[in-house]
Structure 1
């Protein structure tokens, strides 16, 4: 019996929008000049995303700004869109429902009763509230009121890998523990008004979603994945390469154009050294769950690790179908892989710092 992922659950908002329609909304809310009107659809097309889900959508039909309730065209009263307080109110209203759906499915799929959960680990970087959606999980799912709670906050796109490390530590320390890990992000709340290339690229990628896993002792008959070693490193001299900061009109993401090159420079030799500790080579890894931060990041990972196109298929598929949902996204990739890949699998994510996180699964 080893510490394992025993079940997984995924959840998406009811409505989605095509990338072409999302570009039409961007033109209405963000774009000021005719040149920018022509450029925005091309930037959205290059994102590698075909559709995304958002809690802000009223329907899944067209790109008319009326199809969503939040981002009206820029005006003199709110030139940068809703305030951070307004966005956090929407997070309070919407995050719990998604988290509960994903968590409930993970409990069902792992054949775990809510009362058996001893530890609850929550992950989010797109909103803050107290009491948070962890309390909603206790109330709505019937978890024990004595459950031990841990929140992994504001870690960015690799947050679920941080959460898996925490969950594994609990079970390694107490083999009787059952941990429910829930990652929920409402990235579309932080849509940014005003034209900069960085803003348009971020707006074209991010989406909403939730994923949950149950972690406990398991064997080959009742485990989806056995959790192995974790890797974490903050690359030096890269503090401004990727940032996630709280502004007056939402949380502001910056992603330097240098990030793909930094990945090419630093990822391979760091990952090789970690794998060598476990007597593994890159060629012996059967599956790769690489967080789809965007097509340029995926391309940089593929080049750095010299991976075939087939190794990247799951990550590109999730990016195409759902966009970048931040922390839950890597769990969506793992779920895509589990039907076809027995292991070993490496999951990788990147975050502000520039930070690299990875997890080995079998």
Structure 2
């Protein structure tokens, strides 16, 4: 019988620049109203997105100058490395460990390109050993928090005694653009924020939760729902199909299938811990999984305070949930490009 994998710690980190939603909406109107014919009809998204403020790696003025891909990449490398160090340091401190005790580092990020990857750039500052295994993961998008947690747990289970550090960093605001606008760009401007989260996992007892199982479900012929487009400015968001109605119709059977693989059913889940992609996505998940309307309260609170930070957002929700008291069995879940659902079942530590 394999040893249980415990989550020893969980930490979050946010960049320093606050972007109040009212201020972002006012700036967006000044920039977009005269160049995007449907802007007045689209502008209500700033009121309905469920975001009150979010944090960004760069100050507001930085985004108001057209930026090339090299400029965005430089901002990503600096900002993402700082967030990596901040989140990882807090997670290691909570686990009473040092960087030198980490055996495997899993880095999840899809909002910039870093080669060498972020854990290598942070290696000296965190004191990682030269023989630590480095596993950078790109392309998971919003599903990266749940998928990354599942991957880190599988690595810990397959390497008993190893300390696995999972760090998830996304700088979604760097996708902001002023030219060649699409509806998706305006939605992204109303939703996206930056942030990072980190966990330490290891086989054995301890921590606040035990990972029971993880699973993914990718729907065929759904590549167009969500992703990045690449152009001379960098990475631009794609929302080619509406995500809320898709989630409302398709998430329940996918979740039922994922849970069945672990010998579980929906009725055995005490709390779903969900990635809050936006207010309409939250409402669609509640409907799909028969959660009382308004039941995803932690999700709404994180969205309001931080916006949609892509992959780390669901771990912000998990951190909030565990601080008020984790349910006996929780399922961490997120939707992302692919189009994919990811789920990780957790049992509260004894």
Is 1:16 equivalent to 2:18 in the alignment? yes
Match of 1:256 in 2: 240
Contact persistence 2:170–2:309 (CA under 8 A): yes
Is 1:224 equivalent to 2:226 in the alignment? no
211, 214, 220: which one aligns with 2:200: 214
Instruction: Give, in whole Å, the separation in 1 of the partners of 2:272 and 2:202.
Output: 23
Please report how far the alpha carbon of residue 208 of structure 1 lies from its aligned counterpart in structure 2 after TM superposition: 0.5
Please report how far the alpha carbon of residue 40 of structure 1 lies from its aligned counterpart in structure 2 after TM superposition: 5.5
Is 1:152 equivalent to 2:145 in the alignment? no
Please report the RMSD computed on the Cα atoms of aligned residues, expressed in angstroms.
1.8
Name the stretch that deviates more: 294-303 or 31-40.
Answer: 31-40
Name the stretch that deviates more: 13-22 or 283-292.
Answer: 283-292
Please report how far the alpha carbon of residue 228 of structure 1 lies from its aligned counterpart in structure 2 after TM superposition: 1.7
Match of 1:300 in 2: 284
Please report how far the alpha carbon of residue 193 of structure 1 lies from its aligned counterpart in structure 2 after TM superposition: 1.7
- Secondary structure, in 3 states, of the residue corresponding to 1:21? helix
Please report how far the alpha carbon of residue 156 of structure 1 lies from its aligned counterpart in structure 2 after TM superposition: 0.4
TM-score in terms of structure 1 length: 0.90
Match of 1:270 in 2: 254
Contact persistence 1:24–1:41 (CA under 8 A): no
69, 81, 94: which one aligns with 1:109: 94
327, 337, 343: which one aligns with 1:342: 327
Match of 1:328 in 2: 312
* 1:134-182 Cα deviation digits (max 9, x unpaired): 1132110111111100011121011122222221122111211001110
Contact persistence 2:258–2:343 (CA under 8 A): no
Instruction: Give, in whole Å, the separation in 2 of the partners of 1:256 and 1:34.
Output: 18
**Residue 315 and residue 152 in structure 1: after superposition, are their counterparts in 2 closer, same or farther (change >3 A)?**
same
Instruction: Give, in whole Å, the separation in 2 of the partners of 1:124 and 1:354.
Output: 17
Match of 1:5 in 2: 7
Q: Aligned ranges for residues 19-168 of structure 1 at < 5 Å?
A: 19-32=21-34, 38-39=40-41, 41-57=43-59, 67-72=60-65, 81-168=66-153
TM-score in terms of structure 2 length: 0.92
Instruction: Give, in whole Å, the separation in 2 of the partners of 1:267 and 1:166.
Output: 21
Please report how far the alpha carbon of residue 37 of structure 1 lies from its aligned counterpart in structure 2 after TM superposition: 6.1
**Residue 37 and residue 256 in structure 1: after superposition, are their counterparts in 2 closer, same or farther (change >3 A)?**
closer
Match of 2:264 in 1: 280
**Residue 218 and residue 68 in structure 1: after superposition, are their counterparts in 2 closer, same or farther (change >3 A)?**
farther
- Secondary structure, in 3 states, of the residue corresponding to 1:166? helix
**Structure 2 unaligned runs (5+)?**
none
Is 1:174 equivalent to 2:159 in the alignment? yes
Instruction: Give, in whole Å, the separation in 2 of the partners of 1:243 and 1:114.
Output: 33
Match of 1:201 in 2: 187
Contact persistence 2:193–2:307 (CA under 8 A): yes
Is 1:185 equivalent to 2:166 in the alignment? no
Please report how far the alpha carbon of residue 39 of structure 1 lies from its aligned counterpart in structure 2 after TM superposition: 4.4
Please report how far the alpha carbon of residue 132 of structure 1 lies from its aligned counterpart in structure 2 after TM superposition: 2.5
